[in-house]
Structures are given as structure tokens and as C-alpha cells.
Structure 1
Amino acid sequence: MKIDVEKLSLSELNSLLNAAERRKQLISSRRPIASVRRTVIALAAQHGYTIDELYGDRPVAEIAGKKRAPRRKASKVAAKYRDPDNKRNTWSGRGRMPRWLAQKTKHGRSVADFLIPGLAKPTARKNSPIGRRTLIKQR
């Protein structure tokens, strides 16, 4: 981190000096690393272990905790909505609404207008007006 001292104001310089002084006191008050290492090795030996047995070759993540179970892959779902302008734009009705559909509904069209005829019924939350519709678009 490079600090351009020439561009700092008086208050910024004072806060920088205070922060540097606090950091200097912290570093000077700590015990040397070699002494801490000797203490840790002695403590492990006192309990009948070596440092290699405690830490060894395993990564830190493996030591820290157990692994999570792998997530199940989500299954494929048939599309319910299709963009009439671009047939490749489809949406299953799950997850976040795609941009193309959000854009078109923003300009006054209904999500039900984009249902694939004969295949789909509207997907909606209970409080959504889409779920209350009883009409299913036919070809």
C-alpha cells in the first residue's frame, strides 16, 4: 500500500501517525515468533503429540471442520414461457424472471401472454394476479 503523504491534509496526517503508533506498539508488544513456536511444540509434546500429527500435510480447511454433503443437482424442467420474437428465449417459471420477460411485462404485457400454448399453466405466487386466472391460452 503506497500513501502519498504530500496530498494528505493535517487531520489525515494526524490520524495516519496515530494509526502507525498503535501498530508499532502492537508489534513491539508481541512475543517473538520463535518463542511462540517453541511454546506450542512443548505444549503438544506435553500432551503426547507432535506438530506434524496435529497439522501434518492436510490443508487448513480439512483440519478446521467436516465437509459438507454434495448438493443435489437441480432437475431440468420443461419451459412454460416463450418469447414470440426470439423462440430461443424460454423460461420454466422457476427462479428469477428472465430479462426479456421482465422487459416485456414492464411495458404493459401480461406474463400469461407468453405461455406456451397447450403445455403450460401460469406459475405464480398465491398473492399474484397471475395465479387467479382461470383462462388457459389455446393455440
Structure 2
Amino acid sequence: MTNEERITMGDLTSMSLTELQSLQKKVAKAIEKQENRDRKKALAALEATARDLGYSLSELTGGKKAPGSKGAPKYANPENPEQTWTGKGRRPAWVNEALQSGKSLEEMAI
């Protein structure tokens, strides 16, 4: 941080409303970036701890992942290819039904 970016309380009282609003936006953006960095660091630490214990983080959290990070499907319903499953978590009903009818997971692999 440069000396120009460091602001004291005295500096704040001498600033115009426009300058204060601009500063407020910069501070809000800096807070958001820091929160994202902290969140990523915490997630990485949790994933490392889970891995050290022989688990994936999704296994320990009930299969829930971070928003936007879905696993790639590995299996598709032979009768309805739009129904897919990643192979993780509880098996969907269509997988159980196909297995009971004699199909194997290999036959449903994408």
C-alpha cells in the first residue's frame, strides 16, 4: 500500500462527499476480494485435512460441493440419457432399477 492510499481520520474529515463515496466503493471491493481469498484458503485447508484423513470434503459434507462445482456425470440412464449420475453419493432410483434388471454399471457408463 502506498502512502497516498493510507488514510487517517483527519484525511476523512477533509474529503468531499464524492471522494468519500469513491473511497467507500474501493473499500467494499477490497473487503469482497479479501473475503474471497480467505474463503478459498479455508476451503483448501479443509480439503487438505479431509484428504489427510482419507476422505474427500464432499464425502464428509454429505456430497454438497461449492456452488458451481458439479462433478462430471459418469453414468447415464439407458432409457433416458438425460438422467445422469456422477457415481458419487446415493444411487438414483433409475440406477438401482437398472441394476436389479440385470444391467451393470459398466453398461451405463458414459
User: Shorter-chain TM-score category?
Assistant: 0.3 to 0.5
* TM-score, length of structure 1 as denominator length: 0.31
> RCO higher in 1 or 2 (8 Å CA, sep ≥ 6)?
2
- Structure with the larger helix share: 2
Larger Rg: 1
